[in-house]
Amino acid sequence: MEIEFFCKEQDEAKWFEDWQGKTWQWYKDVGLSEGRLRWFEHPKESLAHYSKRTVDIEYEFPFGWGELQGIANRGTFDLTAHSKHSGKDLSFFDPETKERLIPTVIEPSGGVDRTCLAILCEAYAEDQVEGETRVVMRFAPRIAPIKAGVFPLVKKDGLAEIARAFERKLRRKFNTFYDQGGAIGRRYRRMDEAGTPYCVTIDYETKENETVTVRDRDTLGQVRMKMDEVAGWLTDRVALESI
């Protein structure tokens, strides 16, 4: 993926640093550890002929460091070359300063496949829970394919019907998954392997006071809350606004 960002030549350093900051933060927002990220500054002697400056953001994969995205200051080369060979004036008139100029191009260019690979490498983990090895994908909640699993504690006594109805309600706003097969612990493990950050369990107390148990994938902690509070609670944790 490539983006062509145009700016005034005198502002190129400011905008280059702005793109660096936003790029770094974006990779953190999708779940990559800051300790596995670094910048590589291309030395002048290895720059492409059109580049005034190029930096790569790299990730430490299990097989070593690899590039995720490059940011290049292409200067005025692109539009100057197009103007020369097309015979068209591609300069820009700034109505505020009353000047005509050829914009500088800042080009962030990243790969979707390598980013997905980095996210998978970052997320995969194994730990010990109750004496068993647990495989878990620790996706950042905002990018997890399934945001919440919904389970009845048991299938009888109307709990399954309540759980199904609640899952359908949550599904209007989130990607959710309903599961009533097997022991509750096994259902948790299946959601852990899928990277689902939260699981909601409907139990007998739900029938009494309309509260549910919400379990956190990473801490294994559980909190009790009202059913009508769950959607807002999830929204606060899986929102995509900052990406």
Q: Give the per-residue pLDDT at 240.
A: 60
pLDDT-based confidence at 128, cuts 50/70/90?
Answer: confident
- Spatial distance between the Cα atoms of 238 and 218, rounded to a whole number of angstroms: 14
Q: Is pLDDT at 229 greater than 70 in this prediction?
A: yes
Q: Is pLDDT at 241 greater than 60 in this prediction?
A: no
pLDDT-based confidence at 2, cuts 50/70/90?
Answer: confident
If you average pLDDT over every residue of the chain, what do you get? 92
- How much of the chain, in percent, has pLDDT values that exceed 70? 98
User: pLDDT, tens digit, for every residue of 149-190?
Assistant: 999 999 999 999 999 999 999 999 999 999 999 999 999 999
| DSSP output for the chain | -B--EEE-GGGHHHHHHHHHHHHHHHHHHTT--GGGEEEEEPPGGGS-TT-SEEEEEEEEETTEEEEEEEEEE-TTHHHHHHHHHH-----EEETTTTEEEPPEEEEEEE-HHHHHHHHHHHHEEEEEETTEEEEEE---TTT-S--EEEEESSSSTTHHHHHHHHHHHHHTTS-EEE--SS-HHHHHHHHHHHT--EEEEE-HHHHHHSEEEEEETTT--EEEEEGGGHHHHHHHHH--TT-
Q: Give the per-residue pLDDT at 88.
A: 87
Lowest model confidence (mean pLDDT) among 89-98, 101-110, 204-213? 89-98
Q: Give the per-residue pLDDT at 243.
A: 42
Contacts of 102 (CB under 8 A, 6+ apart): 9, 76, 79, 80, 83, 90, 91, 92
Q: Kindly list the structural domains of the chain, giving each domain's residue range(s) and its CATH number in brackets, ordered by start.
A: 5-120 (3.30.930.10), 130-238 (3.40.50.800)
User: pLDDT, tens digit, for every residue of 76-88?
Assistant: 888 888 888 888 8
pLDDT-based confidence at 111, cuts 50/70/90?
Answer: confident
Burial of 226 (0-12, 13-18, 19+ CB in 10 A): exposed
Q: Is pLDDT at 242 greater than 80 in this prediction?
A: no
- Spatial distance between the Cα atoms of 60 and 42, rounded to a whole number of angstroms: 18
- Spatial distance between the Cα atoms of 58 and 43, rounded to a whole number of angstroms: 16
pLDDT-based confidence at 50, cuts 50/70/90?
Answer: confident
Lowest model confidence (mean pLDDT) among 24-28, 100-104, 160-164? 100-104
- Spatial distance between the Cα atoms of 106 and 112, rounded to a whole number of angstroms: 19
Measured CA to CA in angstroms, residue 207 lies from 76, 226, 234 at distances of 68, 11, 22
Query: Which of 52-66, 69-83, 88-102 is the most confident on average?
Result: 52-66
